[in-house]
Amino acid sequence: MNVTHHRTRTTRVALAAAVAAVLLTGTACSSKAEEDKGGGGADGVEAGPGVSAETIRLGALTDLTGPYATLGKSIVQAQQMWADETNAAGGICDREVEIVVKDHGYDVQKAVTAYADISSDVVALPQVIGSPVVSALLDDIQRDDLLTFPQAWAASLLGKDAVQVLGTTYDLDMIAAVDFLTRTEKVAKGDTIGHVYFEGDYGANALEGSEWAAQKAGLKVAGQKIKATDTDLSAQVSALRKAGVKAVLISAGPAQTASLAGVAASRGLTVPIVSSAPGYAPQLMKTPAAKALEAMVHVVSAAPAVSSDLPGVRKMVAAYGKKYPGSPVDSGVLSGYNAAQLLGADLKKACEGGSLTREAVVKAHRSQENADTGLGTPQNFTDVSQPASRSTYVLKPDAKAVGGVITLEEAHEAPGIEEYLAAKG
């Protein structure tokens, strides 16, 4: 009995070892195969991972099934449209552009797995959704030298060579928001303003900006920290009214902005509300709070309104509407397309330099001093520790406009931003 048992176990161990050996060999083979792919092309351009003689492969770690599914879909479609347009015009460096899309559903674990899956086979990541996802991948991205455009704008993401926050950071947006309130005389010295913000990087960074600007302007900030699951802001509105606020800033999601405006209006707290860019979505115009949003809310954003008159934006909106009829044209479309175009410029520059290795792509990116895609303000990527742009637009919700917003103020740099960035070092 004992002997049989022993023998069974030995067989099992042997079997397990055999399976492990096969798996290991398999892995070794596949990593070897990937290395082989990175050979030089016939045209003499040095290639690296993700680049072959025929294709340039890019990766997208997106959210198609989680809380930011709408945003994810917009960006994926916009970037695919860019890839199709680019390929129709002959591609980049005589190679076809291909985007590998991985859905992580806003789950950090899944995102880490997806990164491991595609990172060895792509040359850059024009889309990574989610601050927690980006934070979890930062070290890997740095190690792999994989140029990445995150869809997150916290200042803590600055200072990393391979990671590029596009446009302004959350703190700069809120400095511009406070400037807008004081400049248009909606608040005066000595007043209190409220700031409703999400816990985490987004809210913390936004609050940093609002507190700095408020102190400079002689205002007091009454902060209200909330979570993404808080969609009824009644208690926060009560507290803000008690604090006697003359205006409210909000750095949260669209649902929270809608609740804030709706509740404040119903309670007679009709003060101006200024939101960070992620706090607004065109879908809000279909909620009961639409009227209050139109009357009270402004949005500060580094990107122009989708309904903007900029020729580049109009052309893109028309093309997108034709390619994806029925899909809403929101800010995600604009930011996704913009990111893809900027990356395209980097790849072209790297190609001209004779190398499409990851290091060469990052280097090409960091040499762009005045990158202008015609979709907003030009950006400067040369100083890794500074935001790529300092200018912001002021937008206003409008149910009738494409993308649900119109441009109220054209892009400009708010006074104080220079001083703020200098003080931050």
C-alpha pair distances (Å), 244 with each of 47, 211, 271: 61, 17, 10
Rounded CA separation 125/122 (Å)? 8
Q: By CB under 8 A, tell whether 244 contacts another protein.
A: no
Q: Is 219 in the site for another protein (CB under 8 A)?
A: no
Whether residue 149 contacts residue 126, with contact meaning beta carbons closer than 8 Å, is answered with yes
Q: Does 231 bind another protein (CB under 8 A)?
A: yes
Of 232, 309, 383, 410, which lies in the binding site for another protein, with binding defined by CB under 8 A?
Answer: 232
| Given 4, 42, 288, 370, the residue binding another protein (CB under 8 A) | 288
Q: Nearest 5°: CA angle at 276, between 114 and 299?
A: 130
DSSP code at position 371: B
258 interacts with another protein by CB under 8 A: yes
Count of residues of this chain found to bind another protein when the rule CB under 8 A is applied: 46
Selected range binding another protein among 139-147, 167-175, 265-273, 318-326, rule: CB under 8 A: 265-273
Name the minimum Å distance from CB 265 to another protein. Answer: 7
> Rounded distance, CA 337 to CA 371, Å?
14
Q: Of the ranges 80-88, 166-174, 281-289, 305-313, which one interacts with another protein (CB under 8 A)?
A: 281-289
Binding mask 58-77 for another protein (x = CB under 8 A): -------xxxxxxx------
**3-state SS of 321-341?**
HHHCCCCCCCHHHHHHHHHHH
CB of 274 to another protein, least distance (A): 18
Q: Is 242 in the site for another protein (CB under 8 A)?
A: yes
From the list 32-40, 225-233, 310-318, 345-353, the region that binds another protein by CB under 8 A is 225-233
The gap between the terminal CA atoms of the chain, to the nearest Å, is 75
220 belongs to the binding site for another protein (CB under 8 A): no
Handedness of CA 211, 212, 214, 219 (dihedral sign): positive
Q: Per-residue x/- marks for another protein, 185-214, CB under 8 A?
A: --------------x---------------
Q: H or E segment at 194?
A: strand 192-198
